[in-house]
Structure formats: C-alpha cells, structure tokens
Amino acid sequence: MPSLRQQLREKRRSLTRSEQLSASTALTRRLATDLAIITAERIAFYLPNDGEIDPTRFMFWCYAAGKQIYLPIVCDGLMANTHSLLFQAYVPGFTPLVYNRFGVPEPQFDKRQCIKASLLNQVFLPLVGFDRQGNRIGMGKGYYDKTFSAEVHSFHTPKLVGLAHSSQETVILPNPWDIPLDAIFTERERIAIRRGQKPGWRG
C-alpha cells in the first residue's frame, strides 16, 4: 500500500495543467495582499517540481518590486555540512540553472552569491502535506529541517511559510526534529499558525 507521502505526491501530480495555472494565479493574489510578505526584503522561493504549487508568478512580482530573491541549493558535496541548504541570489529568467541530483533546478553554485539562512526574512517551503497546526510533510530528505534547526539560536530566524494545494491537507503526527511552519498558503486560504515561543515570530 502506498505511504501517505506517496499518496499526497500522486494527488498533486494528478492535477491538470489548467488546475495548476488556476491554483498559481489564486496563490499569487493571496501572497500579494499579505503585509508581512510584501514588506519583506529577502525572500527565498523554490522552483516547482513534482506537481508542487507554482509560486513563480509571485516571484516575478517580488523581483519587479525590488525584493532580493533567493533559491535553495542542495549543498551535498559543496560544503562540509551536508543534508542542509544554501540560499543563493537569483534573478528570475536570467540566472543560469542546473539540475541537482534530485532532478530539481537550482542556480549554478557561486559561494559569493550565497547568504546565511538566518539573513532571510521569508522562506517559502514546498509541501507534500500539511495540517492546521503548522506541521508539514516534505520529500523526506530533511533538508529544510536540518537547515533551520541549525538557525534557531541565531539572532534572527526567518518566517517559514508553507505553500501547497488545499487538497494536500492531512493529519500529521510530527517528529521531534520537525521544524514547524509559521503560516501556510493554499490557493484557497491563508492559515496562520500562532507560535509565541518560536524564534523570529513577528505575529
């Protein structure tokens, strides 16, 4: 029997191109009216893969508004700290991309263009599944969890915002090492997660 992660991945991959475009348009409208997001200066996006909801339209909107855009890079083999992410500056439609070992596009590594994760204001995370308590199911590699668990004692921790199709909502039993989200956006709604004790939470 397929695992919950496999079922959810198949569900989002089964969406038609028209459904994906409609979801991306609705997501963009919601993100563009959120004050905490539109006032952020440094935002990490992702390039959609495997049926993930597409934030690309909003990425271009942010770049046109003068915001600094970053994309995650899987740093296995690049740095000593493996199974975590680097964040590199990205100019939409211009910065050269390569495919990492998971088949996901990312910028060609340039250490001079990378910043510490703690310097980001907002990080958009692609979700496989989510619940309304801010728990998430990712692809199972632990990259985001390891990256941001290492940042919790830094002076500033970015706000972690999950993006997903509404059909990816599920019931999750979190692991102790899972990093919870601050908010979740789908094509239908914004789900706020109130975590007064989470470092970096700004309400």
pLDDT at 199 over 50: no
> Using CA atoms, how far apart are residues 86 and 75, in angstroms rounded to an integer?
6
Residue 200 lies in a domain: no
Residue 176's pLDDT band (cuts 50, 70, 90): confident
Residue 48 lies in a domain: yes
Angle, to 10 degrees, between the axis of helix 17-31 and the axis of helix 56-64? 40
pLDDT at 2 over 90: no
Residue 183 lies in a domain: no
pLDDT at 202 over 50: no
Q: What is the mean pLDDT of residues 69-75?
A: 92
CATH number at residue 57: 3.40.50.10420
Lookup result for tokens 């390039």: 47
Residue 169: give the domain boundaries: 4-113+140-178
Residue 203's pLDDT band (cuts 50, 70, 90): very low
Residue 198 lies in a domain: no
Residue 197 lies in a domain: no
Residue 187 lies in a domain: no
Residue 146's pLDDT band (cuts 50, 70, 90): confident
Residue 31 lies in a domain: yes
Q: What rounded mean pLDDT belongs to the chain?
A: 89
Element (H, E) at 146: helix 143-149
Residue 15 lies in a domain: yes
> Using CA atoms, how far apart are residues 141 and 17, in angstroms rounded to an integer?
27
pLDDT at position 186 is: 98
Tally of domains within the chain:
1
pLDDT at 152 over 80: no
pLDDT one-digit tens code per residue, 15-30: 999 999 999 999 999 9
Q: What is the mean pLDDT of residues 46-58?
A: 97
pLDDT one-digit tens code per residue, 76-118: 655 545 567 999 999 998 999 999 888 889 999 999 999 989 9
> Using CA atoms, how far apart are residues 95 and 80, in angstroms rounded to an integer?
25
